[in-house]
Structure 1
Amino acid sequence: MTTTNKRQKKKYSAHPEDIVVVIQLPYFDDGIARLAYFKAEKRGFVPGYELDDWLEAEREFVPR
């Protein structure tokens, strides 16, 4: 009995719009954290707004 190893060719998309690229910038979270810290500092570090500060900092920091 003989076995044959057949390699299947991988199919790649011919359309560049189908390709998803994730770019991770260095110090990305550090920049957002710093901006969120300044927002909390401006507010007097009142507790309960941490997530709001972070999400607002993300919106300002991330280019769209």
Structure 2
Amino acid sequence: MKTQEMNIKHTDQNQEHSQPSAQAESFQTDVAEMAYYKAESRGFTPGYELEDWLEAESVFKAY
């Protein structure tokens, strides 16, 4: 019985870590939106995707 309880606890912990929190999803959505607008302002010139993403991330991490 003890092994079964340990397996259940282990499974529950894995599920907690495998699903992003609402806060993490919101952060990613906000970053993606800001990166999109940065790209749009340049006319979607290719080659700046990572730069746009990292700049947007740094803005939201500062708050």
* TM-score after normalising by structure 2: 0.58
Aligned residue number for residue 55 of structure 1 = 54
CA RMSD of aligned residues (A): 1.5
- Aligned length, in residue pairs: 41
Report the alpha carbon displacement of residue 63 of structure 1 after superposing the two structures with TM. 2.4
- Structure 2 residue runs of 5 or longer lacking an equivalent are 1-20
Segments ≥4 residues shifted beyond 2 Å: none
TM-score normalised per structure 1: 0.57
Identity of aligned residues (%): 54
User: Which AA in structure 2 matches 1:38?
Assistant: Y
User: How many Å apart are 1:62 and its aligned residue?
Assistant: 1.3
Any unmatched runs of 5+ in structure 1?
1-23
Q: Whose helix fraction is larger, Structure 1's or Structure 2's?
A: 2
